[in-house]
Amino acid sequence: MYSVFKKMLLRLFPERCLMRIEFILRYLYSLLYLGSAVRCTICGGRFSGFIALASGDMLCPRCGSLPRQRRLWIILQPFIHQENRLKILHFSPSRILQKKLRRMNPSQYVTTDYDTKADTDKHYDITQIPEPEDSYGLIICFHVLEHIPDDRQAIRELYRITKPEGSIWIQTPFKDGDIYEDKTLTTVAERLHHFGQADHVRIYSAEGLVSRLKEAGFSVQAEQYGFDPVLGLKEETILICCKTKSQADEDQAGL
């Protein structure tokens, strides 16, 4: 029903117009889910259930958040409170998370999306980021790298603009075994069939991506999170990548 309703609205109104009234429309739609069986960690709403999408994701009826966004919000809050002078770069953020994070007032919060139609501050190409080196204390990069043909170049750029001792939080869909990629698969149909989404160019394994991140110089910790039906959270792995100081920096600091 949700996808039918969404398609109908997109046929009737221009996307720009819908974006302006998105939060009102979602609030009205959430009235179909009155109840208290589940709770959204982002908007705080309680509902009879989440909206089950064809992808298997559970959408919040009121704020439209996905499980990975609700998880990110849970782990970000204490981190930002503790490090409130943090300068943050957020790739492809959801609108609701952008709104919440701006209210938390980190020292600088910059959002970016390659899609120029997205409502973000910047539209950076992740393989050529026009920012000086050592710029950001925290970079959030969820569901981005699996879209990038030259992901090693993107990872090098992320490393370059991260401050020493800063971190990048990365999440993508993962599979067991090795990374699955094949540069000869270029059509929409082929990528949909092989990678599960028309604009994906590979499926990572956590081990494979950790290895590519280490090649660029990051130290990486894979954090595992569990399923929670009440908060609508899925089992997932988030890679916390730190740009540790080089030995030369350590030596200089010791002088």
Question: What is the Cα–Cα distance from 161 to 139, expressed in whole angstroms?
Answer: 9
CB 69, CB 97: distance < 8 Å? yes
Regarding beta strands 87-91 and 51-52, do their DSSP bridges make them parallel or antiparallel, or are they unpaired? unpaired
Residues in the chain: 255
Q: What φ, ψ does residue 163 adopt, rounded to 5°?
A: -70, 150
Candidates 38, 51, 58, 60; binder of Zn ion (CB under 5 A) is 60
**Please, what is the minimum distance in Å from the beta carbon of residue 41 to Zn ion?**
8
Report the nearest approach of Zn ion to the CB of residue 8 (Å).
22
Q: Which stretch binds Zn ion (CB under 5 A): 20-28, 63-71, 112-120, 231-239?
A: 63-71
Query: Would you give the DSSP letter of residue 19?
Result: H
The window from 38-46, 126-134, 149-157, 239-247 that contacts Zn ion (CB under 5 A) reads 38-46
Give the DSSP letter of residue 197.
Answer: S
Q: Does 66 bind Zn ion (CB under 5 A)?
A: no
Element (H, E) at 171: strand 162-171
Among residues 92 and 94, whose Cβ is nearest to Zn ion? Answer: 94
Nearer to Zn ion, 60 or 210 (CB): 60
**Which residue of 30, 38, 40, 92 would you call a contact of Zn ion, by CB under 5 A?**
40
| Binding residues for Zn ion (CB under 5 A) | 40, 42-43, 60, 62-63, 65
